[in-house]
Amino acid sequence: MTVSVIIVNWNAGAALDPCLASVVAAATPPPEVVLVDNASSDGSTAAARVGYPGVRVVETGANLGFALGANRGAAAASGDVLVFLNPDARLLPGALATLVDALLATPGAGVAGGALVDERGRWQPGWARFDPVRHLLLDTTLGRLATRGRRVPFPVDWVYGTFMAVRHDLFRQLGGFDARYFVYGEDLDLCHRAARLGVRTIHVPAARAVHGRNLSAAQRFGAGREAEVVKGEMRFYASRGGPGALRRFRAIATCKFGLKAALAAVAGRPAAVATYGRVVRACLAFDPEAVA
């Protein structure tokens, strides 16, 4: 089985070089690498052309967001397995082969997500649940404690698109990522549509990538990034969650982030108050009729 690694770049800056270096070093010969440039203006893609001449660059001409950019990359890729990797992430040794091997070795699996750590090696979440109540209340640091010690692949509802492998034939069958998502929610949506076909999604703890500081999203959304994550999830629940799913999500998310804002205010953390306040306002203002 051949592998294509797809990286969607929008002004990832200096983070793109170690990302590409980790992919090129992942195997001999290196996997096919498709770098999708969403009209970056920071010179990162130009530098990649010089430093990594074997990388195929797809120019979109505009910032299409992750979903559409990834679809463009998938259309240009030839691998049997597509691996989507954020430009602010870099693979640890053996991660790519471990992820792909687990996907291919697991009966009925079509999607696999790797484990994420920060620059200091501290755990980051890489998977979550479909159900809105369980997602909001259990997909937390404490809620994931029972699974953080696992070392072998295990089934999950959905995995983060930060470091995700998908069988190319499944990706085509699903029509790729839903273009209605600019960023956030498209990975949740893809895994949900795969599950409806009876295809399993797995999390692979031994396949690890170091994930940076969400550079592109931070540039675009600033302190509103958390609110954009929640907006993407509300879009999913509005379109595919079933009767009452969006209503439950909005009610619980409003209470959850409202409480977090209140606690941050008591603790004297004004930046956190502003962040959680934006999430609450996003929950209250979301218009399900606007979801096409």
Report whether 62 contacts 38 (CB < 8 A): yes
**253-284 as b/e, with b when 16 or more CB fall inside 10 Å?**
bbebbbebbeebeeeeeeebbebbbbbbebbe
Q: What is the mean pLDDT of residues 245-272?
A: 96
Q: Which residue in 119, 134, 194, 197 sits closest to 161, CA to CA? A: 194
Residue 73 token pair: 């990359």
50: exposed, middle or buried (Cβ count in 10 Å: 0-12, 13-18, 19+): exposed
pLDDT tens for each residue of 217-227: 555 656 678 99
Maximal CA-CA distance, the chain: 55
Quick one: pLDDT at residue 288? Answer: 83
Domain extents for the chain? 3-213, 219-290
Quick one: pLDDT at residue 219? Answer: 58
Q: Mean pLDDT score of the chain, rounded to an integer? A: 94
Quick one: pLDDT at residue 224? Answer: 79
Entry pTM: 0.94
The residue with tokens 């992430």 is 89
Q: What is the mean pLDDT of residues 105-128?
A: 95
Quick one: pLDDT at residue 216? Answer: 53
Question: How crowded is residue 49: how many other Cβ atoms within 10 Å of its Cβ?
Answer: 12
Q: Which fold has domain 3-213?
A: Spore Coat Polysaccharide Biosynthesis Protein SpsA; Chain A (3.90.550)
Report whether 79 contacts 34 (CB < 8 A): no
Q: What is the mean pLDDT of residues 175-179?
A: 97
DSSP for residue 149: T
